[in-house]
Structure 1
Amino acid sequence: MKIDRIHHVAYRCRDAKETVLWYQKMLNMDFVLAIAEDNVPSTGEPDPYMHIFMDAGNGNVLAFFELPTRPEMGRDPNTPAWVQHIAFKVKDREELLAYKEHLEANGVQVLGVTDHGIFHSIYFFDPNGHRIELACPDPAEAEQLKKLDAVKWEMLEEWSRTRRAPRHAAFLHEKAFAGKH
């Protein structure tokens, strides 16, 4: 048995229509479909919802639920805002910079470009407060991935023992942290 791919990833949204229009305008995603029910199909629980689906490219689907009878959505107060996010791959740095310019021109606050060694990223929030990352590959990605693959298990074992960041992959962010110590 082997998982084929992610069918869809679902998040909550405040306003389904606002979410569809934002993802269309800001990230050029197509609106695929909407499903609305008064009862949850899997549990039978009475809970009206609007479930929307956006095309995130290459068969990937990003979905949202608007739940009008539920309390306002929030975040886990014990998890920093930078942790929980969804990342989308873009073709190259030129496209990443074009998205950054497009988002900023439309009033979206963008963090980055951040150099992660194997890829470069920008970060921003959608109108629901979900953190989004756009990432493009670094020209040295293949070489860097080989190095990371060679140390992944050793890193995981060291982390499991010590709960301290192993230094095996420190080369990825050396440029980013140079001069910040």
Structure 2
Amino acid sequence: MTHPVTLSRIHHVAYRCRDAKETVEWYERVMGMRFTTAFAEDHVPSTGDYDPYMHVFLDCGGGNVLAFFELPNQPDMGRDEHTPAWVQHLAFEVPDMDALLAAKAHLEAQGIKVLGPTWHGVFRSIYFFDPNGHRLELACNIGTPAQYEELARVAPLMLDEWSRTKKAPRHAEWLHKEPTDS
């Protein structure tokens, strides 16, 4: 039986920004995204509420779109103080380790503080913040088909154990052992 909801992809992901123009220019210059669309309204289409906004859309490749709202009549944006800054982030894939290192050098040349590369077993990644305080990640996959198959096999076991114990299951302990260079 097929599921009644048929998804083809994520249409866009939207976040808030402090300044739409600054945000678009930053994502074009730093991330190489292409600015494609802008909507500006005085009333929210879904609710009818008066709340002027600028909604901008950036093409991030592969049919993926990142969008931002500037909301000048709302209180200054913040973040959930009960959630650590490292939790809420947006991760983009790069093709390989060379691309990840080139991106890191580019970001650092822009004066952006970068953490990593960080080892995650089947991928490596770097982390940094955009001008709005959103944490971003660039990741490159390094796992083998057998490793991804094993992760898919143990995922339900790990989730069930976590649900019972709220302690990190170690069904994929090998993920946590970074190989040493010879």
Give yes or no for TM over 0.5: yes
Q: Quote the residue 1:56 is aligned against.
A: 60
- 1:34 aligns to what? 38
Residue 137 of structure 1, CA deviation: 1.0
Query: Structure 2: how far apart are the matches of 1:51 and 1:175?
Result: 42
The separation in 2 between residues aligned to 1:170 and 1:124, in whole angstroms, is 27
The corresponding residue for 1:152 is 155
Tell me, in whole angstroms, the C-alpha distance in 2 between the residues paired with 1:106 and 1:143: 38
Letter of the 1:162 counterpart: T
CA contact (8 A) 1:117 1:144 kept: no
Matched-pair contact (CA < 8 Å) for 1:122–1:135: yes
Equivalent residue number for residue 78 of structure 1: 82
**1:123 aligns to 2:127 (yes or no):** yes
The alignment's TM-score, normalised by the length of structure 1, stands at 0.94
Aligned mate of 2:144, from 107, 128, 141: 141
1:25-59 CA distance string (max 9 Å, x none) = 11100001100000000000000000000001111
User: Is contact 1:48-1:69 (8 Å) kept?
Assistant: yes
Distance 1:31 1:83 in 2: 27
User: 1:165 offset after TM fit, Å?
Assistant: 0.6
Is the contact between residue 89 and residue 136 of structure 1 (CA under 8 Å) also seen in structure 2?
yes
By how many angstroms is 1:150 displaced?
1.1
Q: Structure 1: 5+ residue runs without aligned partners?
A: none
Q: Shift of residue 143 of structure 1?
A: 2.2
Instruction: Report the alpha carbon displacement of residue 175 of structure 1 after superposing the two structures with TM.
Output: 2.2
Spell out structure 1 runs of 4+ moving beyond 3 A.
Answer: none
User: How far does residue 8 in structure 1 lie from its aligned partner after superposition?
Assistant: 0.2
Structure 2: unaligned runs, 5 residues or longer? none
**Percentage of matched positions with identical amino acids:** 63
Q: Is 1:68 aligned to residue 43 of structure 2?
A: no
Q: d(CA) in 1 for partners of 2:107 and 2:131?
A: 12
Q: Secondary structure at the match of 1:165?
A: coil
SS at match of 1:88: strand
Preserved contact between residue 31 and residue 53 of structure 1 (Cα < 8 Å): yes
Amino acid at match of 2:108: E
Matched, 1:162 2:158: no
Match of 1:105 in 2: 109
Give the TM-score normalised by the residue count of structure 2: 0.94
Q: For 1:175, what is the secondary structure of its paired residue?
A: coil
Shift of 1:151: 0.6
